[in-house]
Amino acid sequence: MITFEAVRKQFPDGTVAVDDLDLELPTGRITVFVGPSGCGKTTSLRMINRMVEPTGGTIRIDGEDVRSKPPAALRRGIGYVIQHAGLFPHKTVIDNVLTVPRLVGRGRERTRALELLERVGLPEAFADRYPAQLSGGQQQRVGVARALAADPPVMLMDEPFSAVDPIVRQQLQEEFLRLQNDLGKTIALVTHDIDEAVVLGDRIAVFREGGHLAQVGSPQELLTEPADAFVRHFVGRDRGYRGLSFQGSEDLPLRPLDGVRLDEAGRPLDVEGTFRSGDSLRVVIDLTLTSPTGTAVQVDAEGRATGLVHHHDVVDLLEKRR
């Protein structure tokens, strides 16, 4: 668990980037920092690995003040991924991964680095290429592999998928969720994109101007119980999103049903509109809740909620059926 206790950062020029931040990031989960540009997300992230030192308050990892270790020691346990992967241009893909000190297993470093690259979706054929010979999305994959190389329990990710085009972004998000499903890292991920926050976040912290926290909660809580007009507008319920309707039997990528409250029959609460079950085993139906993020609830033949899907997938299916 990572905790922020009354954390404040005022830069020497007087700018208050983060003000009195209290926040808990649960172990093994993805906590997303989301909000408009300039509201203190990156600064908050960088205080965790001491790239920025707070001017007030305390940050702890598993109860231990991050200042109790020298920064270099602290950072061995914290992977860091940024928007433009930050690869060494003169090193090959595999050498970029191998720059991480203490990559496990003497003499097996190359094998281990290849395994990691494979896990992030880069087969061996890419190992000896240079970053300039990769697409943006592929560079981000290398960045993720490198951050994972030392097998750190904590990962900080600053807009890791923002620089890639929407289709690749969605693919990277899904692969990343699958990977995280296996790895169970404690992750803080920054994005300015509420759709991405809802897709990736187990828990979402909405920041607002001046480095204030507007609301913290599960994706569903933000969508259904926005704390104020700012959050309501930010998650898009002011924007008149209509939702989607779909019935079918296709398998769609699922994420866990975290944060959706269910009634006694296992039907999701907080959902405006109705859902009906069809003949097929897997059905996604009639959700006006879906919000701009288009998160839809998937239900089984008895109408029990079984998971969440992203509206892009539903739209894809509808397109294909036309």
Residues lying near ligand ADP in the complex (CB under 6 A) are found at: 11, 13, 15, 17, 35, 37-43
Q: How far is the CB of 69 from ligand ADP (least distance, A)?
A: 23
User: Which helix (H) or strand (E) element contains residue 25?
Assistant: strand 16-25
- Let me know: does 241 contact 250? Beta carbons within 8 Å: no
Residue 74 partner contact from Mg ion, ligand ADP, none using kind-dependent CB cut-offs of 5 to 8 Å: none
**CA pseudo-torsion sign 120, 124, 128, 129:** negative
The 3-state secondary structure of 86-119 reads CCCCCCCHHHHHHCCCCCCCCCCHHHHHHHHHHH
The stretch among 34-42, 123-131, 142-150, 252-260 that binds Mg ion (CB under 5 A) is 34-42
Residue number with CB closer to ligand ADP (13 or 319):
13
Number of residues interacting with Mg ion: please give it, by CB under 5 A.
1
Residue 191 interacts with Mg ion (CB under 5 A): yes or no: no
**CA pseudo-torsion sign 128, 133, 138, 144:** positive
Report CA-CA distances (Å) from 126 to 53, 87, 116, 149, 163: 38, 14, 12, 17, 21
Q: How far is the CB of 50 from Mg ion (least distance, A)?
A: 17
Q: How far is the CB of 87 from Mg ion (least distance, A)?
A: 20
Residue number with CB closer to ligand ADP (41 or 50):
41
- Let me know: does 242 contact 288? Beta carbons within 8 Å: yes
Residue 174: name the closest of 241, 253, 262 by CA: 253
Residue 181 partner contact from ligand ADP, Mg ion, none using kind-dependent CB cut-offs of 5 to 8 Å: none
Residue number with CB closer to Mg ion (42 or 49):
42
- Let me know: does 302 contact 262? Beta carbons within 8 Å: no
Residue 17 partner contact from ligand ADP, Mg ion, none using kind-dependent CB cut-offs of 5 to 8 Å: ligand ADP
> How wide is the angle at C-alpha 182 spanned by C-alphas 169 and 46, nearest 5°?
60
- Let me know: does 186 contact 157? Beta carbons within 8 Å: no
Q: What is the DSSP track for 272-303?
A: -S-----SSS-EE--BSTTTTTT-EEEE-TTS
The stretch among 40-48, 55-63, 287-295, 305-313 that binds Mg ion (CB under 5 A) is 40-48
Residue number with CB closer to ligand ADP (158 or 195):
158
Residue 44 interacts with Mg ion (CB under 5 A): yes or no: no
Residue number with CB closer to Mg ion (158 or 221):
158
Distance (Å, whole) CA 216 – CA 213: 8
Q: How far is the CB of 288 from Mg ion (least distance, A)?
A: 33
Residue 140 interacts with Mg ion (CB under 5 A): yes or no: no
Residue number with CB closer to Mg ion (42 or 96):
42
Residue 92 interacts with Mg ion (CB under 5 A): yes or no: no
Residue 307: name the closest of 258, 257, 265, 266 by CA: 257
The stretch among 16-24, 38-46, 250-258, 277-285 that binds Mg ion (CB under 5 A) is 38-46
Residue 43 interacts with Mg ion (CB under 5 A): yes or no: no
Q: What is the DSSP track for 155-217?
A: EEEESTTTTS-HHHHHHHHHHHHHHHHHH--EEEEEES-HHHHHHH-SEEEEEETTTEEEEEE
Residue 13 partner contact from Mg ion, ligand ADP, none using kind-dependent CB cut-offs of 5 to 8 Å: ligand ADP
Among the listed residues 18, 25, 33, 42, the single contact to Mg ion using CB under 5 A: 42
Q: How far is the CB of 315 from Mg ion (least distance, A)?
A: 29
Residue number with CB closer to ligand ADP (52 or 150):
52
Would you tell me which residues interact with Mg ion (CB under 5 A)?
42
